Amino acid sequence: MADSPKPVRDIAETARDVKAGSFRMASLSESLRNGALRAIAKSLLENGEAIFAANREDLSAGAESGLAEPLMKRLKFDRQKLRDSVKGIEDLIGLPDPLFRTAFVRQLDEGLVLRRVTCPIGVIGVIFESRPDALVQIASLCLKSGNCAILKGGSEAAATNRELFRLIRDAGLGAGLPESFLTLVETRADIGALMGCHESIDLLIPRGSNEFVRHIMDHSSIPVMGHSDGICHIYADKSADPGKAIPVIRDAKTQYVAVCNAVECLLVHRDIAESLLPAVHADLTRLDVTLRGCPETLKIIPAIPAEEGDFGREYLDYTMAVKVVDGIDEAIGHINRFGSHHTDCIITEDAEAAERFMLMVDSAGVYQNCSTRFADGFRYGFGAEVGVSTGKLHARGPVGLDGLVTYKYRLYGGGHVVADYAEGRRSFNFRDL
């Protein structure tokens, strides 16, 4: 591989170079960026065999080192993954440009016009574990939104990542993107170095296990977008319709257990516990779900006694904690204390109760009578998903392309000075245009 990129030695220096190049990246037209995405999709399709060959290297190294089956599965990059990746890029090309969008235009005074316009965030550091398709996805999201990306992939996927990176980079440069648009760093030690680049990197997006994301969040002064735990709750209120409660609980718990928007804890209003819990138990044990119940629950249905720590635990498995509560306020208090501010649902026919729940539950998603599994950018109609954020600032919940942009205030004048206004010779005359 004579044309593979030379290894990056000093991350801080590289990041500074990327930052310096990011300003040109921010000025590129939509058509240039979409053209580059088209060239990248074409190159990936045409070079499938080279990618699969690199992936076989990683797979056999993984098999040799005894990588677990789920990891091997995520590591695999086959024709289907290639098709999905290219489809993702094509969808992205069709989405509206997130840049240069004007939130408002306001005349401050005659000839003095303020515009708030979206622009890229700048340099985004992405740290991801084994899945090589994540590289394609995040590189194209960053490109669409005019950001430079510094990628740090997992060592298990090193050969695949290197090949994907080479193809994307070459196609992008050929389409007129600046050198800085995409950078790959490879050694394990680089994560710490990346986390220290707060002068050059504007945002970190970690993708991987909870522990991994939590570690990045706790140890970097660079803003982090992501989520660690997904501890979602369903609260079945006094007025819950069992015809909605049972299927929603079933779906939220069992439709896909290993994800952040699966439900981990069911809270049931005391008044309906004796009628609802046996039905929930019958429905879920049929699907091999283990219930861990509070003492009140155990009086009604057979379950494993919940221990300390079972509430506020992310099972990511066919297990759910169950607790009987005195009412909506106890449910809200429990969720705010033990949840992870991701997505929580109330099952109720009472609109006032739903409103109270939605106002007071401090989560990115507050749902009535539907499965927590809907918490997803594609299901929200965003067209592309950057990730899910449990932070409250900037972007919250499922994040679409909008989460990768910020804004500037542009002020156009004709020699206007503040002294004229401070000294009463002129006065502001605000008018939204």
Residues 300-359 that bind a second copy (CB under 8 A): 332-333, 336-337, 354, 356, 358-359
Decide whether 270 or 392 has the Cβ nearer to a second copy: 392
Place of tokens 């981990």: 264
Among 203, 236, 321, 353, binds a second copy (CB under 8 A): 203
Q: For residues 220 and 301, what is the distance between their CA atoms, to the nearest angstrom?
A: 46
Q: How far is the CB of 368 from a second copy (least distance, A)?
A: 5
Question: CA–CA separation, 422 vs 122, rounded Å?
Answer: 36
Among 114, 173, 193, 257, binds a second copy (CB under 8 A): 114
Q: Is 92 in the site for a second copy (CB under 8 A)?
A: no
Q: Nearest 5°: CA angle at 217, between 195 and 334?
A: 180
Question: By C-beta, is 44 or 332 nearer to a second copy?
Answer: 332
Least distance (Å) between residue 305 CB and a second copy: 27
Q: Does 56 bind a second copy (CB under 8 A)?
A: no
Strand 148-152 relative to strand 182-185, pairing: parallel
The distance of closest approach from Cβ of residue 392 to a second copy in the complex, given in angstroms and rounded to an integer, is 5
Counting contacts by CB under 8 A, is residue 286 touching a second copy? no
Is the four-CA dihedral 190, 166, 168, 163 of positive or negative sign? negative
Size of the site for a second copy (CB under 8 A): 80
- The nearest distance, CB 269 to a second copy, in angstroms, is 18
Residue from 5, 8, 17, 26 touching a second copy (CB under 8 A): that is 26
* Residue number with CB closer to a second copy (46 or 420): 420
Burial 332-359 (b: 16+ CB within 10 A, else e): bebbeebbbbbbbbbbbebeebbebbee
Segment 368-397, which members bind a second copy (CB under 8 A)?
A: 368-371, 373-375, 379-381, 391-394, 396-397
122 binds a second copy (CB under 8 A): yes
Single out the residue of 27, 102, 155, 290 in contact with a second copy (rule: CB under 8 A): 27
Residue with tokens 């240039």: 32
Q: What CA–CA distances, in Å, run from 349 to 233, 236, 355?
A: 18, 10, 11
Which one of residues 49, 308, 418, 424 is an interface residue with a second copy (CB under 8 A)?
Answer: 418
In angstroms, rounded to a whole number, what is the distance separating the alpha carbons of residues 357 and 353?
6
Residue 288 is a binding residue for a second copy (CB under 8 A): no
Q: How far is the CB of 326 from a second copy (least distance, A)?
A: 17
Which one of residues 36, 40, 138, 364 is an interface residue with a second copy (CB under 8 A)? Answer: 364
94 binding a second copy? (CB under 8 A): no
Cα–Cα distance measured from residue 134 to residue 139, given in angstroms and rounded to the nearest whole number: 8
Residues in 256-285 at the binding interface with a second copy, rule: CB under 8 A = 256
> Do residues 180 and 18 make contact, with C-beta atoms less than 8 angstroms apart?
yes
Q: How many residues does the chain have?
A: 433
215 makes contact with a second copy (CB under 8 A): no
* Structure token pair of residue 372: 């927590």
Give the 3-state secondary structure of residue 294.
coil
Contact residue for a second copy among 221, 309, 424, 427 (CB under 8 A)? 221
Beta carbon of residue 14, minimum distance to a second copy (angstroms, whole number): 17
Of the listed pieces 6-14, 53-61, 62-70, 416-424, which binds a second copy according to CB under 8 A?
Answer: 416-424
204: which strand partners?
125, 224
- Judged by CB under 8 A, does residue 101 bind a second copy? no
CB of 40 to a second copy, least distance (A): 23
For residue 270, give every residue at least 6 positions away whose Cβ sits within 8 Å of its Cβ, in sequence order, or none: 296, 324, 325, 326, 327
User: Residue 75: phi, psi to the nearest 5?
Assistant: -70, -30
Whole-angstrom Cα distance, residue 72 to residue 110?
Answer: 64
Binding of a second copy by 119 (CB under 8 A): yes
Amino acid code (one letter) for 99: L
24 interacts with a second copy by CB under 8 A: yes
